[in-house]
Amino acid sequence: MNSRSKKFLSYYKPYLGLFFADLFCALIVSATTLALPLCISYITKNILTGNLSNALNQIYWMGAVMVALVIIHVACNTFVDYQGHMMGALMERDMRAELFEHYQKLSFRFYDEQRTGQLMTRLTNDSFDLSELYHHGPEDIVISLLNFVGAFAIMVTINARLALLLFLFLPIMGIYVYYLNIRLKRSYRRSKDRVGDINAQVEDTLAGIRTVKSFTNEGVEEQKFTHANNRFVESRRDVYQSEMYYYSGLIAFTQLMTIAVIIFGGVSIVNGALDLADLLAFLLYVGILIEPIRRFANFTRLYQEGMSGFERFMEILEIEPDIQDSAAAVELTHVQGNVAFRDVSFKYKEGYDYVLKNISLTIKAGEFVALVGASGVGKTTLCSLIPRFYEVSDGEILIDGLDVKDIRLRSLRKNIGIVQQDVYLFAGTVADNIRYGKLDAGLEEIMAAAKKANAHDFIMRLPAGYATDIGQRGVKLSGGQKQRLSIARVFLKDPPILIFDEATSALDNESEKAIRDSLERLTDNRTTLVIAHRLSTVRNAQRIIVLTDNGIDEQGTHETLIALDGAYANLYNMQLEI
């Protein structure tokens, strides 16, 4: 048994009691299905052809037995249908939770190469198909196997020649099913990929709906969606064609089996080798024999759909996070805030050019350092390496003398506050979004953080104050308001190390001033690294570092770098001209 098979079966472990109860009820369902035709055969063969004076009592007694069997059958089938589905739903929940937890562990490098819609499909559609397989798969196998073997064994006792005649159909059916299964598996996998493409396209368009509308490109997005939608239809066409051949073939085989029994059974009656009561019983068992074949056909569909989903599920789950805690990782405590880069180099993937090469830099605890330079020289990348959003390719980064690789990720990131240019706010209230910096914070703490971030006044002007719903990604707020909420969130977190990634570059002058004032309060006595687009915002930095394609080109105070009349002075003068 390979590792994936073991993983597939492992999800039954928490629910073994429910699983075995489900299988037991499935066995009872199968047994009652086999027993009912025996009762009918007993009536037609023994009672009605025997002593009629005692026939009525025996018929009533046998009728009571049959009613009892039906009650048991219905009760067990009800358990299988409800509790079995619940078991599947619980297993689906467990798998979805495991996959979501795994998503959280994967680094930015993984998400740089993935489409959100595809990841969502693996979390929703694929797991539902697996739930159906986990529930129906075992019971379909048990019921089908017992019904098939039981019905065939009883048919042999009734008339061995007729039973063997039916048996001759099975190898041909087996070959037919085998080849159609291969086609079904390929079709289901392609269909799931196409559903993921549709979700990815929808997610991409809706996330950028304001850009779409501003450029009046609704038609372009409709064309892209139509293309993805049509590809899905083509994949489903292949699925339905495969299912058509599969099910039509099985129906043809089962009908041919029934015809064969009627013809050869009729010949046997004429020849005196079979009586009418036995033929009736045999035909009843042909119906039972056909039902497992139909169940098997349904199981095949569930299996192919479910295993296609499981393969996609495992493809993600088997991706090892490239950034993890080492075995000897320690907690970061009593943080002073000294940060050091030692010969740090970084590239996003093997075969790519280095974004940063041999960077060495020391930032003292409490120092306010600004990073400036042209777009694409690696300013944001350099800052992303400190909380290990990406792993350095060479060299090391130290915090208070500890290599960040030797610090537990949660502890490392807990001590770093980040304010980005592209602020992400969650759907919910103002208070919920500020509280994200400290989940157990009360309203008074939230309000205090908002006041420090110059956000309290505008919040109180909102319809419901701190309880105002701000919409998906904070769409009901202005850029400056969103930025101030993100700063309030960092105030609440209260980290010893701060990173600001062009936090004021896209704001108007009034918002920029409010944010700059709040940043000055926030940076007091904290190690602060600011990526600056507007150089006017970092004139008061204790040190300005100029990054170019060749690494650190200049560093010093604003006045020192202006006097050098080098790269920084050129950047500064260009902005003055603008």
CATH number of the domain that 568 lies in? 3.40.50.300
Q: Which of 312, 320, 319, 315 is nearest to 124 (CA)?
A: 312
In degrees and rounded to multiples of 5, residue 426 shows phi and psi of -90, 155
Residue spans of alpha helices (H) in 399-478: 409-414, 430-435, 443-452, 456-460
What is the structure's pLDDT at 208? 66
Q: Long-range contacts for 133-136 (Cβ within 8 Å, ≥24 apart)?
A: 133/302, 133/303, 133/305, 133/306, 133/307, 133/310, 134/11, 134/12, 134/87, 134/88, 134/91, 134/92, 134/306, 135/22, 135/84, 135/85, 135/87, 135/88, 136/84, 136/88, 136/298, 136/299, 136/302
In degrees and rounded to multiples of 5, residue 417 shows phi and psi of -105, 135
What is the structure's pLDDT at 54? 67
Residues 300 and 436 occupy one common structural domain: no
Q: Which of 503, 467, 502, 462 is nearest to 483 (CA)?
A: 503
Looking at the predicted structure, is the pLDDT value of residue 10 above 60?
Answer: yes
At residue 43 the predicted structure's pLDDT band, cuts being 50, 70 and 90, is confident
- Residue predicted with more confidence, 363 or 54: 363
Query: Per the domain annotation, does 334 fall within a domain?
Result: no
Buried residues in 259-281 as b, exposed as e (16+ CB within 10 A): ebbeebbeebeeeeebeebbbbb
Give DSSP secondary structure letters for 337-352: --EEEEEEEE-SSTTS
- Residue predicted with more confidence, 514 or 150: 150
At residue 415 the predicted structure's pLDDT band, cuts being 50, 70 and 90, is very high
Where does a domain end: 317, 337, 354? Answer: 317
For residue 387, what are its two tokens?
A: 């909380």
Report whether 346 contacts 393 (CB < 8 A). Answer: yes
Residues 39 and 179 occupy one common structural domain: yes
Query: Per the domain annotation, does 323 fall within a domain?
Result: no
Residues 430 and 305 occupy one common structural domain: no
At residue 339 the predicted structure's pLDDT band, cuts being 50, 70 and 90, is very high
Residue spans of alpha helices (H) in 436-508: 443-452, 456-460, 479-493
What is the structure's pLDDT at 496? 92
Buried residues in 394-413 as b, exposed as e (16+ CB within 10 A): ebebbbbebebbbbebeebb
- Residue predicted with more confidence, 90 or 287: 90
Residues 310 and 445 occupy one common structural domain: no
What is the structure's pLDDT at 71? 92
Where does a domain end: 293, 317, 341? Answer: 317
Residues 99 and 247 occupy one common structural domain: yes
Mean pLDDT within 346-371: 89
What is the structure's pLDDT at 505? 53
Query: Per the domain annotation, does 347 fall within a domain?
Result: no
Q: 44-53, 59-68, 74-83, 178-187 — which is least confidently predicted?
A: 44-53
What is the structure's pLDDT at 341? 94
Looking at the predicted structure, is the pLDDT value of residue 348 above 90?
Answer: no
What is the structure's pLDDT at 504? 59
Query: Per the domain annotation, does 341 fall within a domain?
Result: no
Residues 313 and 206 occupy one common structural domain: yes
Looking at the predicted structure, is the pLDDT value of residue 48 above 60?
Answer: no
What is the structure's pLDDT at 365? 92
Give DSSP secondary structure letters for 158-201: H-HHHHHHHHTHHHHHHHHHHHHHHHHHHHHHHHHHHHHHHHHH
Where does a domain end: 317, 349, 383? Answer: 317
What is the structure's pLDDT at 511? 62
Residues 313 and 418 occupy one common structural domain: no
Q: Which of 530, 513, 507 is nearest to 423 (CA)?
A: 507
252-263: per-residue pLDDT in tens?
Answer: 887 888 788 788
What is the structure's pLDDT at 55? 67
What is the structure's pLDDT at 510? 62
- Would the CA dihedral through 499, 502, 504, 507 be positive or negative? negative
At residue 396 the predicted structure's pLDDT band, cuts being 50, 70 and 90, is very high
- Please count the structural domains in the chain: 2
421-454: per-residue pLDDT in tens?
Answer: 778 888 889 999 999 888 898 999 999 989 888 8
Find which of 65-79, 105-119, 501-515, 532-546 is predicted with most confidence, using mean pLDDT.
65-79
What is the structure's pLDDT at 464? 92
Tell the burial category of 25 from Cβ atoms under 10 Å away from its Cβ (0-12, 13-18, 19+). Answer: buried
Q: 47-51, 144-148, 369-373, 483-487 — which is least confidently predicted?
A: 47-51
Q: Are strands 394-399 and 551-556 parallel, antiparallel or unpaired?
A: unpaired
> Would you tell me how many other CB atoms lie within 10 Å of the CB of residue 507?
21
Average pLDDT of the residues of the chain:
83
Residues 6+ apart with CB under 8 A from 303: 133, 137
Residues 20 and 133 occupy one common structural domain: yes
170-206: per-residue pLDDT in tens?
Answer: 788 778 877 777 787 788 778 777 877 877 777 777 6
Tell the burial category of 448 from Cβ atoms under 10 Å away from its Cβ (0-12, 13-18, 19+). Answer: middle
What is the structure's pLDDT at 503? 59
Q: What angle do CA 116, 103, 186 make, to 5 degrees?
A: 65
Amino acid letter for position 450: A
> Would you tell me how many other CB atoms lie within 10 Å of the CB of residue 360?
12
Query: Per the domain annotation, does 155 fall within a domain?
Result: yes
Query: Per the domain annotation, does 379 fall within a domain?
Result: no
Looking at the predicted structure, is the pLDDT value of residue 578 above 60?
Answer: no
CATH number of the domain that 49 lies in? 1.20.1560.10
Mean pLDDT within 79-96: 87
Looking at the predicted structure, is the pLDDT value of residue 364 above 90?
Answer: yes
Boundaries of domain holding 499: 367-374+414-577
Looking at the predicted structure, is the pLDDT value of residue 63 above 80?
Answer: yes
What is the structure's pLDDT at 508? 58
Q: What angle do CA 118, 92, 100 make, to 5 degrees?
A: 50
Amino acid letter for position 411: S
Hunting for tokens 């010969």 — which residue is that?
A: 343
Residues 302 and 422 occupy one common structural domain: no
Residues 6+ apart with CB under 8 A from 70: 32, 36
Q: Which of 340, 355, 176 is nearest to 256 (CA)?
A: 176
Amino acid letter for position 282: F
Residues of the chain above pLDDT 70, percent: 93
